[in-house]
Structure 1
């Protein structure tokens, strides 16, 4: 049954405008059921699994109740982990982007306390945090709960599993009695039932039946691919697949732009969608994609929300998503209406652990595949050309060129020679230049085999609903297309505007620092700066050695690139 549009749920024009900008077309079942109840002020017990859209279900009505003339906490959202707290706070900002004076802050352990103290002291309306750190602020007097009107427990059962029972009960006991409480949980465990009984006021239960997390007709596989090899491997797979329509998902706007430009340079019909694309341009891109004018669409998760295009043959996870929920959303774009579909993911290094989390979440094994060689791709392209020629011969769809053929025969060329040259010309006209990648030079026996990975224990474990990201060292950029285990990105303060060339930069790095072979990876020139991928064990030494150096008579800065927030999707 189709849910009503957002405009019929009682939301303000500002919230509806934010929803439209984010690309949501219709609310999910839990959003359609929970938002009107929450707007009416009722307490809620939402029983729903990850991936149902529950964050917007409690965030939109929460935002609708805020008084922006007050710079004090009015809503508190508790989450089991710091990663989820950050994600939820980002969603609060996105959904409240049209409200003007919204101030929300995430508070969690492992982050500097002084920054959180400063934010709370400056005044916020929404606090999103983990139980332990929220209680720390409450005990030291930096978090005033007397004005809290709404409390949300996101993944309440998960917080109980992690041992936060005492903190949750102490915190809930200190909140004003006249408040709205919204509990969201995947299961109605004994612990959740106890919390509801003590701290909720006759809540309305909203239960969403869990659907299959992945479509059985989707063939799922992954390739172990270094960051600098991704475009080449993607190109080979596109040539092998010959998909009519495909979506390529990236984690950041920068990654979308770089992938799109690389594919355009290789002759593919491709366009992009991310947060900087205007609504008018978005509609035009989607129309061309639906019509098949463009065959490839490169997009971020936010830009692809609400995307409804039929007949998508394959989905590529160019960057593996941080959250298994996003993986399910992505691959669900293919294999619709009972048709078969294919989902391909690129992983490397520590990302393999994230892949295993996705397997446990989806309860399906994702098959490992070997990167196709240049010879395999060329063979596939030759087979496709042969099939097309046979089809045209059988249908009689060709023009007669007897005169030209006779002239060649008279000059002593055999029919086999003539056909061979024509096949070669056809392949050259459709083919492209291949790039050699390190994966081509590796012995497959040296790579991790599927049997080296633990199977998901018949998937009998209690499914996890939130996953911590791998800790990142101080040298690594938080997000971006160079986030591989063996390389880190460096910021270089000279770019195209200064007349520098890629070869000059690489030559200087090797010459001045005495780097080992393979230490410098991808170099991307921008207008007034460059981004250089360097092997992690050489990066610090290179930064130190380069201090005070110059190129083309210009002093430059070489330092670790942590990536501006504006580049994130």
Structure 2
């Protein structure tokens, strides 16, 4: 098995990953667990028969070996229903939420078919399986899952292709031959147009999160790709909902599909208090440190999405005096076990972890779970907060919610049938009181230990007396209090002990806002139809930008979200209000964009036309500064002329993920 992972950074290269190797830190989305959460029940299960084992579903023995190696014994509901159908060659429409194990539901049967093709010498070097995913994060996640399940089949290679990444490594991977291609719609069409992606040999086609794909404006791309693939193929369509557009695709492109629907209900322990705090993405780290400094806890887990985030957050917490360690999928198993043991024994108090790394974690002293990054599905949320409240104890779960994630909070409340209590951000005064309290406690504790460590303190006392004795009266060195203060400053290495109070506390003010009013009507209901709003005022930390495509060009919010999010490497949640006007559009984005983001946006096109992004100054004609020529007007990168002047629309389809 070979997995080609393309890293879209300056040092971009094609990495050959062995089954045990890991994705680059910046691109490690968490894998779905192929088994359902233990707290998840099948709501429409009519019988109480035991779930089948994987070895009864008709899978190839090499695929089974990989599944068993990962420690999975029982398939989830969606897997038990769909794997036999797909293994038999049926087309399938699967209705299931993210987090129910649907990736394995379509990956395992496809690999079984390809393993048998490899045995017959019919595998070839052109793609046999094509998976379409709405975002590059999901494309990477699905490709990694395929590579893991194919680890016992060395003939099969896997390649993700997605927007926002250079073409060179992807072209190289396609020329070498990829049996499984996982891609975003716009980039797949780009490679089709270049002649670098041959779809003539496709036998298995998967539409993953099809409703999300259509929400992002990729309907035309999906139609075009499906039309270019052979008529004789197996199609699996997975979606959380079944809007009319999905039914149309099913009727047009699927052959007598079996429809599988898995509904789940989740429950959380009554002994776990659930709270959420409102915070902008740019200040989440500061918010987390404030809460952890003022919230009394025994031990805690902080859940984040990526490996790099575990290290960043753990480092920040350590700098604030908290005993924290990171744990993620890249850490060797023996080190992971040692870190968990340190948490269990009280040598560390905070574990910053990804979902995958914390799987199966059971430490009784965990009093708090912090959802620093909101989970993508309710099952993951239940899994996470279940790490606290063990052995009959009470537990605390705190969820960080940005303005763009308000709907996800509502989904969690609806699915768990429990209200999540709103909490207020601790003030600067509260943080300083907590710090002073801990400082006093440390001094008292050290003095109390003089009985066991009297010799050590005695040595220090002799040194201080000698130092003071060398200085004349009036010199700072002769004042014991000044010397003690200097020692404290040395311990803190120049970092201030207390937060500086500069007047209005922005974090507290933001946490008290009603984020439900910020549900950004520009992408109402997920961007369908694009209800327009005209506010020019961006939220705190954001700014309004103008792009040169509008209603007359046929764009909708999904096209804009797809183009900006994937090209500039942003999360779609960082994109606020979208106001589409006749000849241009206004988009709310973070106020401070990086050099790389400005460069990428300066080259971004929608429908073949450069968006020519610039900061909006509120005047009728827009204005401000444009991406491409940096730093001439302050406020980040901007000023000058755009990278190019663009042109007319040469085609109707929109390359929203390029």
TM-score range, shorter chain: 0.5 to 0.7
2:366 is equivalent to residue 316 of structure 1 = no
Report the equivalent of 1:328: 381
Query: Which of 297, 303, 317 is 1:243 aligned to?
Result: 297
Cα gap change, 1:53 to 1:290, in 2 (>3 Å): farther
2:268–2:386: 8 Å Cα contact kept in structure 1? no
Deviation digits for residues 155-174 of structure 1 (CA, Å, limit 9, x no counterpart): 22333444544443443344
Aligned to 1:398: none
1:157 aligns with 2:211: yes
Which residue is 2:90 aligned to?
Answer: 42
Indicate how the Cα distance of structure 1 residues 227 and 108 shifts in structure 2: closer, same or farther if over 3 A, else same: closer
Q: Deviations over 1:74-127 (max 9, x none)?
A: 101122344433433343334445544543333345554555444323321112
Other-structure match for 1:444: 505
Q: Confirm or deny that 1:358 pairs with 2:389.
A: no
Q: Which residue number in structure 2 is paired with residue 181 of structure 1?
A: 235
In the aligned structure 1, how far is the partner of 2:405 from the partner of 2:160?
27
Q: CA separation in 1, counterparts of 2:593 and 2:498?
A: 15
Matches of 1:80 and 1:226, distance apart in 2: 22
- For the pair 1:453 / 2:501, whether they are aligned, the reply is no
The equivalences for 1:13-162 within 5 A come to: 15=63, 18-19=66-67, 27-66=75-114, 67=117, 70-97=124-151, 99-109=153-163, 111-113=165-167, 115-162=169-216
- Report what 1:221 is aligned to: 276
Q: Deviations over 1:4-47 (max 9, x none)?
A: 55566555565456556767675432233333433333322211
Distance 2:317 2:72 in 1: 28
Supply the distance in 1 between the matched residues of 2:592 and 2:220 (Cα, whole angstroms): 42
What stretches of structure 2 of length at least 5 have no aligned partner?
1-40, 42-49, 414-418, 443-490, 529-557, 571-589, 597-633, 638-658
Q: Distance between the aligned counterparts of 1:42 and 1:173, measured in 2?
A: 19
| Residues 25, 489 of structure 1: alpha-carbon distance in 2 compared, 3 angstrom cutoff | farther
Distance 1:375 1:334 in 2: 30
Q: Is the 8 A contact 2:200 2:229 kept in 1?
A: yes
Q: Residue 514 of structure 1 aligns with which residue?
A: none
Distance change >3 Å, CA 241–CA 539, structure 1 → 2: same
Alpha-carbon separation, structure 1, partners of 2:128 and 2:297: 51
Report the CA distance between 1:192 and its aligned residue: 2.4
Residue correspondence of structure 1 range 91-490 to structure 2 within 5 A: 91-97=145-151, 99-109=153-163, 111-113=165-167, 115-212=169-266, 218-222=273-277, 224=279, 230=285, 237-238=291-292, 240-257=294-311, 260=314, 272-283=326-337, 286=340, 295-307=349-361, 312-318=366-372, 320=373, 323=376, 328=381, 331-334=384-387, 341-345=395-399, 352-356=402-406, 358-359=408-409, 361-362=411-412, 367=422, 369-371=424-426, 373-377=430-434, 436=497, 441=502, 443-444=504-505, 447-451=509-513, 453-455=515-517, 462=525, 471=565
Query: SS state of the match for residue 51, structure 1?
Result: coil
| Comparing 369-378 and 450-459, the one that deviates more | 450-459
Aligned length: 437
Do the aligned partners of 1:15 and 1:98 also contact (CA within 8 Å) in 2? yes
Match of 2:647 in 1: none
Q: 1:215·1:335 contact (CA, 8 Å) conserved in 2?
A: no
Query: Could you state the TM-score of these two structures normalised by the residue count of structure 2?
Result: 0.53
SS in 2 for 1:191: helix
Report the Cα offset of residue 259 of structure 1. Answer: 5.0
Correspondence for 2:459: none
Q: Secondary structure of the equivalent of 1:146?
A: coil
**Residue pair 2:276, 2:400 contacting (<8 A) in 1 also:** no
Q: Give the structure-1-normalised TM-score.
A: 0.60
- Inter-partner Cα distance in structure 1 for 2:110 and 2:216: 26
Q: Write the distance in 2 (CA, Å) between the matches of 1:9 and 1:242.
A: 49
Query: Structure 1 residues 244 and 154, CA, compared in 2 at 3 Å: closer, same or farther?
Result: same
Residues 107 and 381 of structure 1, relative CA distance in 2, 3 Å threshold:
closer
Contact 1:23 1:306 in 2 (8 A): no
User: How many Å apart are 1:208 and its aligned residue?
Assistant: 1.0
What is the CA-CA distance between 1:281 and the residue it aligns to?
4.6
C-alpha offsets along residues 260-313 of structure 1, whole Å, 9 cap, x if unaligned? 567678886665432233345545655675687865433223312354667743
* Secondary structure at the counterpart of residue 356 of structure 2: helix
Q: Aligned to 1:65, what secondary structure does the other structure show? A: helix
Q: Is the 8 A contact 2:216 2:527 kept in 1?
A: no
Once the two structures are overlaid, the 10-residue window that deviates more, 19-28 or 366-375, is 19-28
**Partner of 2:106: helix, strand, or coil?**
helix
Label 1:151 to 1:227 Cα distance change in 2 as closer, same or farther (>3 A): closer
CA distance in 2, matches of 1:137, 1:475: 20
Structure 1 residues without counterparts, runs of 5 or longer: 386-431, 477-483, 491-536, 541-569
